[in-house]
Amino acid sequence: MQQLMRAARLHAVGEKMVIEDVERPRATGTDVVVEVKGCGMVPNLGNVLANWETWYPQMPLPPRPAIFGLDPVGIVHEVGEMVLNVKPGDRVYVNPGRSCGACQSCAAGTPQKCDYWTLNGYFGYNPNSLEMFKRYPHGGFCEYMRAPQTAIVKLPDNIEFRQATRMGYLGTSYAAVKKMGPLAGKSLIINGASGTLGVGVTLVALALGISRIYAVARGLPLLQRLQALAPERIEIFSNTEGSTATWVKSRTGGAGADLMVDTLGAVASLDSLKDAMHGVRRGGRIINIGGTAGDLSIDVKWWMDEQMELLGSVWFTSAEAIELAELLRNGTIDISVLTPKSWPLDDINEAISGVASGDGGFTSYLVEI
What is the closest distance, in whole angstroms, from the C-beta atom of residue 115 to Zn ion in the complex? 7
State the CB neighbour count (10 A cutoff) for residue 182. 8
Expressed in percent and rounded to 5, the helix, strand and coil fractions of the chain are 30, 25, 45
- Cβ nearer to Zn ion, comparing 202 with 317: 317
Rule CB under 5 A: which residues touch Zn ion? 99-100, 103, 106, 114
DSSP 198: H
CA 184/CA 186 separation, integer angstroms: 5
Question: By C-alpha distance, which of 138, 65, 55 is closest to 98?
Answer: 138
Give the whole-angstrom CA distance, residue 158 versus residue 156: 6
Report, in Å, the least distance between residue 134 CB and Zn ion.
16
Residue 33's alpha-carbon distances to 83, 160, 229, in angstroms, are 11, 20, 39
* Smallest separation (angstroms) from Zn ion to the CB of 126: 13
* Residue 128 or 342 with smaller CB distance to Zn ion: 128
C-beta closer to Zn ion: residue 99 or 288 = 99
CB of 315 to Zn ion, least distance (A): 14
Residue (147 or 159) nearer to Zn ion, CB = 147
Residue 166 CB, shortest distance to Zn ion, in Å, is 27
Nearest to 193 by CA among 272, 77, 285, 294: 272
Closest separation between CB of residue 88 and Zn ion, Å? 28
Q: How far apart are CA 89 and CA 147, in angstroms?
A: 15
Residue 112 beta carbon to Zn ion: minimum distance, rounded to whole angstroms: 10
In the complex, residue closest to Zn ion by CB:
114
Phi/psi of residue 73, nearest 5 degrees: -130, 155
Nearer to Zn ion, 150 or 173 (CB): 150
3-state secondary structure of 350: helix
How far apart CA 244 and CA 188 sit, in angstroms, is 12
Q: Toward Zn ion, which CB reaches closer, 110 or 246?
A: 110
How far is Cα 214 from Cα 284, in angstroms, rounded to an integer? 14
What is the closest distance, in whole angstroms, from the C-beta atom of residue 80 to Zn ion in the complex? 20
Q: Which is nearer to Zn ion, 100 or 337 (CB)?
A: 100
What is the distance between the terminal CA atoms of the chain, rounded to a whole angstrom? 24
Minimum distance, C-beta of residue 281 to Zn ion, in the bound complex (Å): 37
When the beta carbons of 102 and 267 are compared against Zn ion, the nearer one is: 102
Rounded to whole angstroms, the Cα distance separating 144 from 35 reads 5
Q: How far is the CB of 128 from Zn ion (least distance, A)?
A: 10
Q: In the chain, which ranges are continuous DSSP H helix?
A: 45-55, 104-107, 129-135, 161-164, 167-178, 196-207, 220-227, 244-251, 270-277, 300-305, 318-329, 348-353
Contact 82, 94 (CB under 8 A): no
Q: Which is nearer to Zn ion, 99 or 317 (CB)?
A: 99
User: Between residues 99 and 263, which has the closer beta carbon with respect to Zn ion?
Assistant: 99
User: Using CA atoms, how far apart are residues 108 and 197, in angstroms rounded to an integer?
Assistant: 27
